[in-house]
Structure 1
Amino acid sequence: MLRDVSMSTIYLLVTSIIYFLCTKIVFDNIFLTSKVVVDEEFHLAIGQAYCKYEYDKWDPKITTLPGLYLLSSFILGPLKKCSIYYLRSINIGASVLNFYLFYFLLKKYNNEPAWKNIFSAINIALLPPLYFFTHIYYTDVLSVTFILLMLLFHEKKNNYVASIFGFCSVIMRQTNIIWVIMIMGRLVLNEIYECSIKNENISLINFTKNFTSIKDTCMGIVGNFFKKSTLKFWLGLFSYISILISFVVFVVLNGSIVVGDKSAHKATIHAPQLFYFALFSGFFGWPIFATEIFNFIKFAQKYLSTIITTLVLCVLIVHHNTLVHPYMLADNRHYIFYIWHRFYAKYESFRYLIVIVYIFAIYVVMKKLWYKNDVTYAFPYTFCVIVVLIMQKLIEFRYFLVPYILFRLKLKNVTQESITLEFLSHVLVNILTFYTFFSKELTWSNYDYPQRIMW
């Protein structure tokens, strides 16, 4: 046993070192190629100001809270290392930490061999959109870090510490409040299970069809919950509620969830975002999704009327609720610009033909997520993904990162072949991404340096 633990630790350490060294090579080349990448022009200036303890400076074009800049100040300020290179390097450190957090959470969620979890952890770390942001000064990598820390400490039943990391995640990106709500929901459902379901042998899934029995069952669950729930649970719950209260106060005082330029990020209802997320998941997790093709065909044959109804509903949603943000049409520095113009905008029929792919991807996500009816994770996750995505008008791959990572971490029984193909495809996409970044220059009249294409 000791030998196995030692070997797994060595594998983990060696993998992280190789990952860091390879990332550092790419990082240095990006730094030599471009000192400012797209929105870094706003982030870097404020990051340098905070690093020098100039907390009174701000740029109204920044729409997120100053978590990234505050952390830069705490880490780099005492060292007086406030250059662009060191500001960007914070995300490399966060990325390596994320790799370890991915591994620990994968280990928590399944009984796979250590090497397999290490392999999956490196695959998630190499998720192309996430991996690209490792090399520049954006909030996404550190945002993921604090969400993972919150989730890990929650799984360790230390919700006080988890709530602190949850608060830090919100300071990074305001929309992370939804993942605090997810963890809080999971805490409540777990406590309900511990208090009533586990002890009373009552099923949350298979209710009887008799209304009176359903009502009695629910009353019994609620009664047991309040009778048997522990003080530790209530203190943990309050630690999350305190974050929600603070967030509500912030929104009321600020007048919006967005700081800075509110006009470009108005809340709306944009249901097709769920379809785009499903497509994102199917694309980057294709080796895993491909194993479900025949199962989906059998499901469709068995529940043909359900599939047809879903297909019609999705087509109606696409027709009536497809929204296009001006940024997406104008900014040719992002891949979504080219995807939209070359497929969705150029061929209107494409929007409808791809609906069946959306349905397949949603089927796989739901099937994998609701493994053995694990409602304590699947239900709050599903609810929170719907809420966080459909309120976004702008389509950005970054919005799908946390939902996909939380989905990928919970996958069980992933085959060695799927993990290997996942690794190879992530590496290939990253190579193509960085090749495009280094080789393709765009000229913008209001910039005296070339612009480049990124996620």
Structure 2
Amino acid sequence: MWTIIAGSGSCKEMGRMAVAAMVSSWVIPIIIMVNRFVPEPYMDEIFHIPQAQQYCKGNFKSWDPMITTPPGLYYLSLAHVASLFPGMWCVQAASSVSDMCSTAVLRSMNGILAVICSILVYDILTHLRPGLDKRKATLYTVVIALYPVHWFFTFLYYTDVASVAAVLAMYLACLKKHYLISSMLGALAVFIRQTNVIWMLFVACTGAINFLLAPNRKDIQLNDAGLSIRKSIQLTDNRSVPGYLNLRKRKSSGAMNVASHSMSVMNTSSLTHSSGLFDEFSTIFFRLWHLKWEILLQFGPFLLVLLAFVTFVLWNGSIVLGAKEAHSISPHFAQIMYFSLVTALAMAPLHFTLGRAKVLCRTLWRMRPMSFIKGLVVLLAGFLAVHFFSIAHPYLLADNRHYTFYVWRKVMRAHWSMKYILVPFYAYSWLSICSNLGKVQKNIWILVFFCASAAVLIPAPLIEFRYFTIPFFFLILHSQIKDDKSWFLMGILYIVVNTFTMLMFLFRPFHWDHEPGIQRFIW
């Protein structure tokens, strides 16, 4: 399966090996360090590790009612332990299989999955940007692997890294048009974390869009005689998605360029003249209508996974398995605003520079008055979201081990006006993100990505940086950042943040008066 998804090629293999070696160079020593200073399960590990150990004993009927996610992580752990058994037997005899499901061994699975994640990121990058230098692809991948929240939970037994790995593998398989394998990986992703059903739908939608807009696909044209089918003319475009819908006007320096451009415009369908979202929707709709059975055949397996998931939710009475009262669905619209700012800060060298602000302002000014209307709509939506749909979950207010506790108290609730003062920053972040994506992605892709992010984040009442990880990965992979300086600065930023958070976690423990045990700072 891995060969089918990843493809072949000696150059790519060298790139994957380099990525794996670089990521392993920090994963292995830090896992050893974490197990040395924090040998006992911590935070959510107190639920996950005993549950995995029950599975190691063959007790599959046991279930902790406080666990909210499906048991996919524990089955992966069984496979991980089974793969380690021969090597561990040579080093030290074990009295039973359950003895090998120790905290250290279970945590090590996430270290392996982190390396797999980095290889998947490398393959996705090189697939989306086939002309990218392999050395740059390796460095870009290493920077993404250092993303602080993903990096930190590599060393604990949480569902996050396994979830990211399954979603990335699903997406890579879909990009390579292995739709059946992609749907199977989607089922695995949902079995690890149920909200991944949204990312499965996102992957299926983007795959269907690429399928419909493939350069060799028959074009569906609306003319005076009705709908007719003709061979489409492949258009060149600087976007990663096939350039059917956008024939961008470019400045030319000579008469020959102008004439060539004019002839290409005259010879194409009227549906390809505009880059507007409406034109993209109409083109996709007409092609979908004529190719509906082919689309159903190719992407039907995704619908089967979705149907199975809906059946489970109806049977369970909730999307979460345990602790349903604390994880009830809530209209937390402010969450999508938090995501925009946190993600833009994670890509600060790209979004928060004076040059970037000037470019964005010039773009808005050039596209006036529509750009002003859009800006006002984003601002108004931000103010309404933080005023009416800003939720302070009891866990957020009570648990001072999480950084979100301090962000909420020291920043967002420092003054009653602070939540409104931050709205322009949320708006700027979204406008900058969409503007950057608009250079390389179709409008329909940006809309689908926003809807998927909103569907994952808005129902979640608790503010968790972990929820932002998967949309961040999709965002940075598709932004196609070409400025090496931005990548370098992001790498430095991530290293500084990672060093701080790990030092605080390992060497700044504290105690609660109302509860025994050592407490540690965590994302």
Q: Same fold (TM over 0.5)?
A: yes
Give secondary structure in 2 for the equivalent of 1:196.
strand
Counterpart pick for 1:293 among 341, 357, 360: 357
Q: 2:79, 2:273 → 1: CA distance?
A: 46
Provide the rounded CA distance (Å) in 1 between the counterparts of 2:56 and 2:310: 29
Distance 2:381 2:306 in 1: 34
Q: Provide Cα deviations, 1:287-318, integer angstroms capped at 9, x if missing partner.
A: 11135221223245554454345324422321
Distance 1:431 1:268, change over 3 A: same
Q: What corresponds to 2:485 in structure 1?
A: 417
Return the offset for 1:322.
1.1
Instruction: Give the AA of the match of 1:277.
Output: F
Say which structure is richer in helix. 1
Query: In 1, Cα distance between the equivalents of 2:200 and 2:455?
Result: 13
Query: Distance between the aligned counterparts of 1:221 and 1:429, measured in 2?
Result: 43
Is 1:113 the equivalent of 2:113?
no
Q: Does the C-alpha gap of structure 1 residues 373 and 133 become closer, same or farther in structure 2, counting only changes over 3 Å?
A: closer
Partner of residue 69, structure 2: 64
> Counterpart of 1:348 in 2: which secondary structure?
coil
Alpha-carbon distance in 1 for matches of 2:277, 2:289: 23
1:49 paired to 2:54 = yes
Deviation at 1:116, TM superposition (A): 1.4
Instruction: Give the letter for the 1:96 counterpart.
Output: V
Structure 2 residue 207 is the aligned partner of structure 1 residue 184: no
Q: Which residue of 2 aligns with 1:16?
A: 20
Once residues 103 and 377 of structure 1 are traced to their aligned partners in structure 2, the CA distance between those partners, rounded to angstroms, is 21
| Equivalent in the alignment of 2:228 | none
> Which structure is richer in relative contact order (CA contacts within 8 A, separation 6 or more)?
1
Deviation per CA, 1:112-138: give whole Å up to 9, x if none.
Answer: 211111111111111001000000000
Measure, in 1, the Cα distance between the counterparts of 2:71 and 2:478: 31
Contact 2:345/2:352 (CA < 8 Å) preserved in 1? no
State whether residues 509 and 520 of structure 2, in contact with CA within 8 Å, keep that contact through their aligned partners in structure 1: yes
Report the aligned-residue RMSD: 2.4
The whole-number CA distance in structure 2 between the counterparts of 1:362 and 1:317 is 14
What secondary structure, in the 3-state scheme, does the structure 1 residue paired with 2:73 have? helix
SS in 2 for 1:146: helix
How many pairs does the alignment contain?
444
Q: Runs of 5+ in structure 2 lacking a partner?
A: 1-8, 86-96, 221-230, 233-267
What is the alpha-carbon distance in structure 2 between the residues aligned to residue 436 and residue 169 of structure 1?
31
Residues 147-158 of structure 1: pairs in structure 2 closer than 5 A:
147-158=167-178
The match for 2:41 among 31, 36, 40 is 36
State the 1:368 CA deviation: 2.1
CA contact (8 A) 2:71 2:191 kept: yes
**How many angstroms apart in 1 are the aligned matches of 2:163 and 2:514?**
31
Instruction: State the match for 2:375 in structure 1.
Output: 307
SS at match of 2:427: helix
Given that 1:52 and 1:82 are in contact with CA atoms closer than 8 Å, whether structure 2 keeps it comes out as: no
Identity %: 29
Task: Return the alpha-carbon distance in structure 1 between the equivalents of residues 161 and 324 of structure 2.
Answer: 23
Q: Which aligned pairs between 1:289-368 and structure 2 lie closer than 5 A?
A: 289-290=351-352, 292-301=356-365, 302=368, 303-304=371-372, 306-368=374-436
Counterpart position of 2:328: 266
1:89 alignment partner, one of 108, 114, 117: 108
Deviates most, 14-23 or 91-100: 14-23
- Aligned partner (choices 442, 445, 464) of residue 377 of structure 1: 445
2:290 corresponds in structure 1 to: 227
Shift of 1:260: 1.0
Give the match for residue 507 of structure 2: 439
Aligned residue identity for 1:225: L
Alpha-carbon distance, 1:438 to partner? 1.5
CA contact 1:182–1:384 (8 Å) conserved in 2:
yes
The answer to whether 1:427 aligns with 2:498 is no
Q: Is the 8 A contact 1:51 1:74 kept in 2?
A: no
Q: 8 Å contact 1:444–1:451 — kept in the other structure?
A: yes
Separation of aligned partners in 2, 1:324 and 1:244: 31
- Structure 1 residue runs of 5 or longer lacking an equivalent are none
Q: Give 2:319's aligned residue.
A: 257
Structure 1 distance, partners of 2:453, 2:212, is 22
SS of equivalent residue, structure 1 residue 260: coil
Shift of 1:447: 4.9
Select between 93-102 and 34-43 the one with higher mean Cα deviation.
Answer: 34-43
Q: What is the CA–CA distance in structure 2 between the aligned matches of 1:67 and 1:55, rounded to whole Å?
A: 12
Residue-by-residue CA offset, 1:385-416 (whole Å, 9 max, x unaligned):
11111111110001100001000111224211
- Higher alpha-carbon deviation: 310-319 or 82-91: 310-319
Distance in structure 1 (CA, Å) of the matches to 2:56 and 2:437: 42
Opposite residue 85 of structure 1, the aligned amino acid is A
User: CA-to-partner distance for each residue in 1:30-69, whole Å, 9 max, x for gaps?
Assistant: 1111122211000010011112222111111100000001
Which residue of 203, 219, 223 corresponds with 1:196? 219
CA shift at 1:6, angstroms? 5.3
Q: Is the 8 A contact 1:271 1:317 kept in 2?
A: yes
SS in 2 for 1:138: coil
Stretch deviating more after TM superposition (74-83 or 259-268):
74-83
CA distance in structure 1 between the partners assigned to 2:176 and 2:287 by the alignment: 24
Matched position secondary structure for 2:510: coil
Give, in angstroms, the shift of residue 208 of structure 1. 11
State the 1:141 CA deviation: 0.1
